[in-house]
Amino acid sequence: MDTPDYFQFFGLERKLALDTADLEDRFHKLSRQLHPDRYARATPAERERALEASAVLNDAYRTLRDPVARAEYVLKQQGTTPSKAAPPQELLDEVFELNMALEELRGGDDSVRPQLEAARDRFLALRREADAALENLFRAHDESGPDSVFADLRALLDRRKYIDNLIQQVESELSR
């Protein structure tokens, strides 16, 4: 079976700024419709189809409920994958500097703990900013069409990925 379009599967328009509460309702409704109990007396072929649809439903829900996974999904369908795009120079410079700052703190004694915590808070703030920027791009995408935002979206998702990575590193350092 070809994997259907996730938006179509939920009967949704191709909007990035989607209402997650509405998505959840649709998910529960479809889950009930596809529940194995309802297929107790169905033919094996029908049961098989319902099972496949359930698997798609779960993948589709996991993808669309998370803003980052949702945006990656839309970009992937458009043919832009993360590995193909070269990140902008300013981003690399910024990430390099943040990594340098983190490295200086790493492996130090307990006295650097407050600085590590400050670094973590800074990275978390950067991620919140990225998430807010993401919402703006979602709205722009839905209002002005996909072509206007794909490049910005790719760059922002890359930036967020780097920030995420830094947060993981600083948190693993703090939990040692």
Partner 1 sequence: MAYSDKVLDHYSNPRNVGTLDRTDPRVGTGMVGAPECGDVMRLQIKVNEETGIIEDARFKTFGCGSAIASSSLATEWVKGKTLDEALAIRNIDIVNELSLPPVKIHCSVLAEDAIKAAIEDYKKKRQQQKG
* Ramachandran category for residue 145: left, alpha or beta (phi over 0 → left; psi -120 to 50 → alpha): left
Distance separating the N- and C-terminal Cα atoms of the chain: 47
Between 59 and 164, CB nearer to partner 1: 164
List of residues contacting partner 1 (CB under 8 A): 82-83, 85-87, 89, 91-93, 95-96, 99-100, 103, 157-159, 161-162, 164-166
Least spacing, CB of residue 152 vs partner 1, in Å = 14
Least spacing, CB of residue 3 vs partner 1, in Å = 22
Helix (H) or strand (E) holding 120: helix 113-144
Q: Give the integer Cα–Cα distance in Å for 149 and 139.
A: 10
Residue 138, number of CB atoms within 10 A of its CB? 20
Q: Give the integer Cα–Cα distance in Å for 55 and 38.
A: 16
Least spacing, CB of residue 64 vs partner 1, in Å = 21
Least spacing, CB of residue 113 vs partner 1, in Å = 22
Q: Give the integer Cα–Cα distance in Å for 176 and 172.
A: 6
Between 23 and 101, CB nearer to partner 1: 101
Between 1 and 100, CB nearer to partner 1: 100
Between 148 and 168, CB nearer to partner 1: 168
